[in-house]
Chains A and B, each alone.
Chain A
Amino acid sequence: MLFQWGMRRQKKQMNDGVQQEGDDHSGEVADVPQEPMSAELAVNIDIIRRATGESDDVVIRRFSLGQEKQMKAAVVFVDGLVDEKNVYEFLLTPLLTASFPLALEEKERLQWIEQKLAAVGGVKHVADWKLLFCELFSGATVMMIDGTSFAICASTKGGQYRSIEEPQTQIAVRGPREGFTESLRTNTAMIRRRIKNPNLWLETMQIGTVTQTDVAIMYVKGIANDEIIEEVKKRLRRIDIDGVLESGYIEQLIEDQTFTPFPTTYHTERPDIVAANLLEGRVAIFVEGTPFVLVAPALFIQFFQAVEDYYARFDIATALRFLRVLIFFISLVAPAAYIAGTMFHQEMIPTLLVIAIAAQREAVPFPAFVEALIMEVTFEILREAGIRLPRAVGQAVSIVGALVIGQAAVEAGLVSSAMVIVVSITAIASFATPSFAIAISARLIRFALMFLAAMFGFYGIMMGLLVMTIHLCSLRSFGVPYMSPLAPFMPSNMGDTLFRLPTWMFRERPRLISQKNIVRQSGDQKPQQPTPSRQGKGDES
């Protein structure tokens, strides 16, 4: 039903799209002048001013070239997007002081400037308005000369960005402290610094018909599967949206399955996680303006792998992996199991415990299901409030919350203390999941399971989990089975699932992700005791 409904909606949207396509695009294109660049400077400047609505931050600096001051010229840049020092020192000063040879032909003039005067890195010839504006708003400085029908764009990107800080999510005790920023270039540089290899390829494209957001895909050529790279590119190219403000936009437009509570792409704020994923053959998608980088394809088990697993020794890492699966399970079924246990299967609870729970429930006026629902919803409200509120008020909320869902509710006889324990353990468990994305899906499924438990008891929970498992097995992320290497079962990749084998045993990359280049290290790296030297022995005897 839901799917049919979804399909119908999609179809409708597509139809709408067809009808509106003409208006949509013409409306958008109208902002950019259609006519080619004029040879007259004044006309070009006028076009720029009109196109930008004479915005204040578009700085147009007119001047005359050379000592003879005969050649009219202008530079255009957007205040705040450029490094002004760069513009003045390396562009304007040389231009104003240089002696410009007037004898040069029209075409050669700008070339001369490019070669002799523009003392900045990237310089580009642009003859197209669309491209020119794109460069301009990416922080380039545009130079134009009277009598030339094209412009030079010099890369002077600059301006204020948040500096590199410790990531707010996926915090690790041991591991690098830097996290991605909103600057795409800084982010890609962080990966470059980690993988110093020419095979680390980066491809950038602009997505968003209005925003023209830079989106870059990064992969290690030779490790990443070409088919997956192609698939990612194909899906990105298909996107036709007015704006991309966060990688979540991209994520939702390229994921394999929309109607699932499970995330089929991974997102992270940590460069070391991205680097590790690139080395496993995955593709990273960077989006300008967000510190969250997408990684595809994502596997179910990946959401249980914390970055610290690989930095810690294998024994504790393995133990923690098991703990995390347990945590996920608890956050999924704890309230449902409480409901089923107290409403249907009283015989399954040890005698003393059932009596203790019964005693607490004596004064509770609601059925166990309603009680659980009240508490879970209360908790969700508190959590939501805690996130949204200003930090200073947040503490007050947590104190009130502790009282509301804790003591007061129990003392008022509205809920039993056993229920408070169940809700608390669920809440803590949902926070302990290493990936927020999977914790959210558990959050949704939990409510579904609670309903099932209230209707059918443990039978309902089992049915729910069964359906969930089947659904999980049917999912794919960029063509890779979501549950691999568990299903399909791949013994050689099991070392990095529930278990985390010692690092020297990680011989292979995930097989289904990097399909051809799977061997990652030699197989004889087991640390050895130093062999006693022969000489010493000889001396003794």
Chain B
Amino acid sequence: MRKNWVVLFVLILSTALFSSITLDFYCLAWQPQTVDTVYDLVDIWNEENPDVQINLIWGTWETSDEFLQTSYRGGNPPDIIHTDTDVLAEYGIMGFVTPLNNYIPKEMLEDIPSWLFDECSDLKGNIFGVPWLQEIQVVFYNKSVFEENGVTIPENRMITWDELLDIAQKVTLRDPKTGEVKRWGFLAPTMEYFHWALIEQNDGHVLVMDDNGKWKVEIDDNAKEAIEFYISLITKYKVSPPDVMSIDYTSLMQNFLNGRYAMVTFGCWNRRFLVQSKMYDWGMLLVTGKNIVSPSNPQGLGVSNACKHKEEAFRFVEFLTNPENSADVAYADWLFPVRNSAVEDPRFLSSEYEWDILYSWLPYARNVRSNMPGYLTFEWQVFVPQIEQVILGKISVEEAFKNIEKEGNKVLRRLGLQ
């Protein structure tokens, strides 16, 4: 009798343990409303799919690289990961995440702009992630300051480089006696990739790939012109402070709220911060060059190679990225979904918080960061430090260009890209 009970107990236990799959989902959502939305979606999924349970692991953008790399190298990565689409491509090339070509249905492929799939693909056509959300970089401006200084802006809110400089000069406020700047006209932190937007708008190239798939740093004249323009705002025209080198987001946004900067470049999600900080007299601008480019920073979802239940994991990815759910998450995150059918949600056409203006810029959305794997290494180890040296007055811009090419090619060699 006792033996029977033991057998029954073991059976129940093993059924409970082995009948359902638990998948770890590493999510980088952090804004309170988005976190709630993701929680809700995971709850719905877990209720509807008792055989495939999702365990949420919250991460932060600042530390996601170290978490994921150590997890992958340690052999215990989360099954599903959320990160930038270009990072997904890097992780795919490094063998961390799996190609999803065989899982992605045709209707999903057709519903998401192809450039977004290119962002998370390698040269062989392996797609390592499903694009999910995209952030648009914009220039926030202080309406009161603009009004005080008689600045008028076009109805479509698009301004050229010259207009940007002109406005920045008008709204920069200096102490008439000491010349000390009381209010800076414009701030575009290096961490926001505004300089890359300028390069893209000017048809410039810095990272080029040859026919053999080898990468090279070669700054063409258009790119040089764009970089020089960016630096001149700080060094020549002095309408932008050296604060552009800071990565202290809170202090920079605080300065915008305090009126120390009249314009700042940040992602469109910052609208939530402004609204929450009770600053209502703001608007958004898009800077344009030869090309109209709305700088986009797309995010996606990938499935780890080490995941033992890839099909189930992809089903969850499909669930999160379906038009309805991706629209909910994007709206809560003050971003846009990437699916064409999801963007048509009327919430994204509302004039409240200037959703409609952002929507009108969506056709020009493009990731201005290069699709070269290791781009971020090049950016932060070589490119930005050299730009910063110029800003600090330690080297000339010509020297910086030479150094970027020399040091950049060294780094590319180290990464195996040459």
Q: Do A and B bind each other?
A: no
Chain B residues in contact with chain A, CB under 8 A?
none
| Interface residues of A, Cβ cutoff 8 Å to B | none
